[in-house]
Amino acid sequence: MINKSLVDQRILERKTTRKFKQVTKNGFLKIIPLGGLEEVGRNLTVFEWQPEKGSEQIIILDMGLGYPESENMLGIDYIIPNIEYLEDKKDKILGILITHGHYDHIGSIPYIIDKIGYPPIYTTPLTKGLILKRQEDFPRLQKLEIYEIKKEEYKPFKLGDFIIDYFHVNHNIPDSIGFFIKTPVGNILHTGDFKIDFTPFFDKPADLSRIVKLAHNGVDLLMIDSTNAPETGHIISERKIMENLEEVFKRAKGRIIASTFASLLERIQQLIYLAALYGRRVVIDGHTMRINVEVSKKLGYLKYEKGIFIRPEDSFKLPPHRVLIICTGSQAEEGSALMRIANKEHRYFKIINNDSVIFSSSVIPGNERIIQNLKDTLTKQGARIYHYQMMDIHASGHAFADDIRLFINLVKPNYLMPVHGHYFMMKAVEEIGIDLGIPKEKIIIASNGQVVKMFPDQIELTSEKVPANLVYVDGLGLGNIGDLVLRDRKALAEEGIFVIIVTIDSQLGEIKTSPDIISRGFVFLKESKDLLNEVRNLARDVVNKNTKHLGDEAPVIQEEQIKYSLKEEISQFLYRKTQRRPVVIPVIIKV
């Protein structure tokens, strides 16, 4: 359970506007990333204050998920952080700070929150709405305790010995914030996912004056988004994206089908605005996108004209040039709306002449081939394709190198720690920091699970590690999928399965009938009779070798040894004959 006195204290202080005076205390702070380093996604960072006297106190920043990293993760839906380190410290956790509503920052909440004692969550209204909406898919869980952070009010609040302040940043979802955390041993500024856009279309510019004001308190450690650090220059403004999208609307003679990320609400808002401007009605297609739009509409974060949204079936009552379909599938995800349209599997839509298809997203590394195949398929069916390599119709939500440089210059931190990125991305931030005069020994390149210790006069990257391995989630649940299971799934997908069913007479110790064989994805049984007969003979030999006859007594049938030998010997035999290794499953039936 949460320390009740601390909860009451912070709720009271949350309602006031007074400023908090931070007092340096004896002890040290542990900063432990359990995800989000050397990867993009799965973000979760632990801040653990260990005073010289008294009990430790913990706050958590973000609680995200990741997606399968390779084709070998067959059947895996999500990857989440390992919170083994926190499970016996649940009574020390004072709260969870959430920067914004993307799943790589909120997606693990339903899988983790009950294991760490349901600590309160602090975040902005839209992010709160998205968390609660997703929570509806997990009815077994308790009701969440969520406190709203109002960006416009800037009221710091206290969690134990931590004082939490915050600031508005640009990203590609509204209500994104960074945090300024005053700890007993120094100040930490965490950017969250951010970019600097001086001319956004629907959002306000990042609150740089607020950031500078907070930085005047001193920033001992800047934890900064590194995702686009290798990209030179400044990121393109959303206003420029809007202008280019409008060009597509001007040219399009038929329907416009715009695919983007379900969470990219800034882009969805731009498309809805242009639809109204050019007399089109809007269909939202894709489960997660519909949820995000529904929550944003309810909370007033999406601006639209009454009657602009229509059902898919109602779009056929309008001429094509008056229809906009906003859908998922920009990464050619299996089962997404755009993939179903391309494969002619969609319940309502298929490509018709004069359709314009917009890919308003960058290509996630590894998806290049399948996205190109999708574009080819759509083009062959008569669509005209627009994508970010042709014209600027997508901007990332993460700062480029010159934006990172500007942020570091504004904050002037003592220590610098890149987060939210692969190793080469974090090293790119290191190069920027060194170029700006930060000593290399004051730039922390950590890995997941590695403990960083913060003292009043220094910060150390230690060799101490806590468990931070991947935890898999699939349709069966959480954490019950191991490397052996994934290896079997890979073998099944690549080599197939070979099942041999051996019926043994328990009185004679002999195979009663010819073994039955079932094969899927390995060989076509009707064309492999000689091979199968050899396998049956091999099975008889294995049974005979592992059955002991004791005169008039019933034979001793070593069932487990027979299973093991069948698996090993048949596997080796099939590889010699076919150069393939199917998953061999022996089944023994004694009668």
Whether 34 shows a pLDDT value over 50: the answer reads: yes
Q: Average pLDDT of 19-42?
A: 83
Characterize 56-85 residue by residue with b for buried, 16 or more Cβ atoms within 10 angstroms of its Cβ, and e for exposed: ebbbbbbbbbbbbeeeebbebebbbbbbeb
Amino acid at 17: T
Q: Identify the DSSP state of 102.
A: -
What is the crossing angle of helices 423-435 and 401-411, to 10°?
A: 50
* CB 108 within 8 Å of CB 65: yes
Do the beta carbons of residue 7 and residue 26 sit within 8 Å?
no
Q: Which residue has the tokens 């790589």?
A: 104
User: Rounded CA gap, 455 and 353, in Å?
Assistant: 66
Whose CA is closest to 258, among 286, 237, 292? 286
Tokens coding 303: 């601006």
Tell me the two tokens of residue 357. Answer: 């298809």
Judge whether residue 329 has pLDDT over 50.
yes
DSSP 420: S
The per-residue pLDDT for 581 is: 79
Name which of 382, 291, 377 is nearest 338 in CA terms.
Answer: 377
Judged against a pLDDT cut of 60, whether residue 93 lies above it is answered with yes
pLDDT digits (tens, 9 = 90+) for 240-254: 999 999 999 999 999
Amino acid letter for position 350: K
- What's the whole-model pTM score? 0.80
Which two structure tokens, joined as six digits, stand for 590?
């004694």
Average pLDDT rounded to a whole number, residues 133-157: 91
Closest CA to 95 of 170, 163, 22, 150: 163
Q: How many CB atoms lie within 10 A of CB 351?
A: 21
Q: Say how far apart CA 395 and CA 388 lie, in whole Å.
A: 9
Domains of the chain and any CATH numbers: 4-16+27-233+396-477 (3.60.15.10), 238-387 (3.40.50.10710), 496-590 (3.10.20.580)
| Residue 20 pLDDT | 53
What is the C-alpha to C-alpha distance for residues 582 and 53, in angstroms, rounded to an integer?
60
Helices (H), 436-558: 483-495, 529-545
Q: Is 50 exceeded by the pLDDT of residue 1?
A: no
Closest CA to 170 of 138, 142, 203, 143: 203
Q: What count of other Cβ atoms lies within 10 Å of the Cβ of residue 109?
A: 24
Per the prediction, the chain carries an average pLDDT of 87
Task: Tell me phi and psi for residue 12, to 5 degrees.
Answer: -65, -45
Q: pLDDT tens digits, residue range 485-506?
A: 545 555 555 668 888 888 888 7
Dmax (CA) for the chain in angstroms is 95
467-480 average pLDDT score: 69
> 56 by DSSP, 3-state: which?
coil
The mean-pLDDT minimum among 190-194, 312-316, 457-461, 502-506 falls in 502-506
CB 519 within 8 A of CB 582: yes
pLDDT digits (tens, 9 = 90+) for 434-450: 999 999 999 999 999 99
Residue 146 has pLDDT above 90, yes or no: yes
Residue 423 has pLDDT above 80, yes or no: yes
d(CA 417, CA 429): 8
Instruction: Provide the pLDDT for residue 330.
Output: 87
pLDDT of 71 > 60? The answer is no
DSSP string, 129-149: HHHHHHHTT-TTSPPP-EEE-
Mean pLDDT of all residues in 465-475: 83
589 band by pLDDT with thresholds 50, 70 and 90: confident
Dist CA 335 CA 340 (whole Å): 6
